Amino acid sequence: MSQTLNIRRAAGALGAELSGVDLSRTLPDATVAAIRQALVEHQVIFFRDQTLTPAQQVAFGARFGPLNIHPYVAGMAGQPEVMEIIKEPADRINFGGGWHSDMSFLETPAIGSILYALEIPEFGGDTLFASQAAAYDALSDGLKATLETLSAVHSASKEYSSTGASAKKRTSMSVAEADGYVGEYVHPMVLVHPETGRKALYVNPAFTLRIDGWKPRESKALLDYLFEHCRHEGFTCRFAWARGSVAFWDNRSVWHFALNDYAGHRRHMRRVTVDPWPHAVRAEVAA
């Protein structure tokens, strides 16, 4: 049985709330295709009033691509692709605080993340999203042309080394330190979305170390300018969570920032992350 999908835009630059669909069910291919179209068009999509077991969240995510196993954060026992993101009342640092794009530190970055809310604080805990396609569009033609010739070096070392925010001690999550074995990977500073053809900036403060072929000091001025530009409020939307809410964002064109403004309260989310299809499978799915 098909489900009627209703779409309401959340903000001017990106974001839409989808209703009329139960993500716990085995969805028809047409519904999955409609959700995927909404994702690539709106860059981040939201669902309310969902009830998902870990297995159901895995099944939903797997309709969009193979699921990622995070190299530094332990997944659930028996389901390593499911990451539980928990901040206990005594924790000072949250996971995902600060603007970033998930998994850009990998050789093949993830295409999207699906976050499900199980427990929400009495106040705060919203997530901000920023369209890097809108950020690219707002640049001058001259800077666009320059950036399209450049690549940047990404690494987990800034975030997951022993001095990084995500590796700092917490009571709620098992996060490995990346010292000694983390790699560096080069990605274009402007990505062309494979499904829409729209261009987006692809650098972020958490994982971008420097411009490829440039010294860190030479890179700093341009990267700092881009980091400031990319989070302009006109490129953003804000999502207020409730129990049962789901957000699904496109990492190829979106930054996000989990706000840490609920000291003394607990927040419990569950995430699966979608990798790109292998080329042979992608061609088969497209057909």
Active-site residue list: 100, 102, 256, 271
Question: Which tokens sit at 92?
Answer: 């000072």
Please report where in the chains the tokens 């098909």 appear, as a residue: 2
How is the beta sheet containing 254-258 ordered, strand by strand? 236-239, 127-131, 254-258
Other CB atoms within 10 Å distance of the CB of residue 198 = 18
Q: Any alpha helices (H) in 11-139, and if so which ranges?
A: 29-42, 54-61, 132-137
Structure tokens at 82: 């499911």
Cβ(92)–Cβ(190) below 8 Å: no
Instruction: List phi, psi (to 5°) of 178.
Output: -90, 5
Q: Which amino acid is at 139?
A: L
Cβ–Cβ contacts within 10 Å for residue 12, how many?
A: 12
Q: How far is CA 42 from the centre of its chain?
A: 14
Alpha carbons 204 and 227: distance in angstroms, whole number:
7
